[in-house]
Chains A and B, each alone.
Chain A
Amino acid sequence: MSTYRKSWRPYIGPNDPCPPLEIKYYETPPNLYLGYQPYGLKQFDPSTALFKGTLWPALYAPYSNPYKKKREEEE
């Protein structure tokens, strides 16, 4: 199974003026991995699909702010 979020650690300089953002995140959604969509994939029922924005669980990758928790934890 592919993961849809990756992270990396930017360089932290000894004289940086602001507290470091230690981890940076970026999204790698399912369309990067699926290739030509195979026939017969699992489907959401219609009302769930309309709510989620896709008929296909294989293409569903919800997003939330990855930085929100972090600063709150620090405080």
Chain B
Amino acid sequence: MWVYEKKLQYPVKVSKCNPMLAKFLIEQYGGADGELAAALRYLNQRYSIPDKVVGLLTDIGTEEFAHLEMIATMVYKLTKDATPDEMKEAGLGDHYANHDNALFYHNAAGAPWTATYIQAKGDPIADLYEDIAAEEKARATYQWIINMSDDPDLNDGLSFLREREVVHSQRFREAVEILKDERDRKKIF
């Protein structure tokens, strides 16, 4: 079970009215390497992975939901006051036609989220290597969005999220080290 804290993991501040950034940010909401995919991937893989690393997948999977909430807040702030015309101008006309100003789990190009974005192979090394790749891809996505954003306050939140991906990748790499360790084997010198 989970305990919900009614606050964000890191404060989200958006200082410029630029709804087009919402179109880019949605990639991290419902995209292949986004926070929803990350959370569901890790929280599902953990059932069949060696118990030494289950806790890590639970912790990181849970944190990804906190990141999802931050992205949702950013998108919401950028679009909540946009008129239909402003949505259209920001390149969000297709989104508006289907969802009004509601959030939805799709990527920057409008493709809806799908479980085919994630995998549970059952092979611990294959699963952890996928997780490491997912973290590096999420890190890269944050970089590309930062490169297109001119809002220092928004970028501050994105920088925090990007740094978390670096830490997650580090921890998944350590999980691989734990699983390949030969400490159980009798060493005869």
Which residues of A are at the interface with B, using a C-beta cutoff of 8 A?
27, 29-31, 34-37, 50-54, 56, 59-65, 67-68
Contact = CB atoms under 8 A, between A and B. Distances in A.
A63 B162 contact: yes
A10 B170 CA distance: 30
B111 interface: no
A34 B159 contact: no
A37 B170 contact: yes
Contact of B166 (A31, A51, A68): A31
Nearest to B177: A36
11 contacts: A31-B170, A51-B160, A52-B163, A53-B163, A54-B163, A59-B166, A59-B170, A61-B163, A63-B143, A63-B162, A65-B147
Q: How large is the interface on B (under 10, 10 to 19, 20 to 34, 35 or more residues)?
A: 20 to 34
A54 B159 CA distance: 11
Interface string B134-147: 00000110110011
**Which one of B140, B161, B162 has the greatest number of beta carbons of chain A within 10 Å?**
B162
A52 B156 CA distance: 9
Contact of A63 (B146, B169, B170, B174): B146
A63 B173 contact: no
A52 B170 CA distance: 16
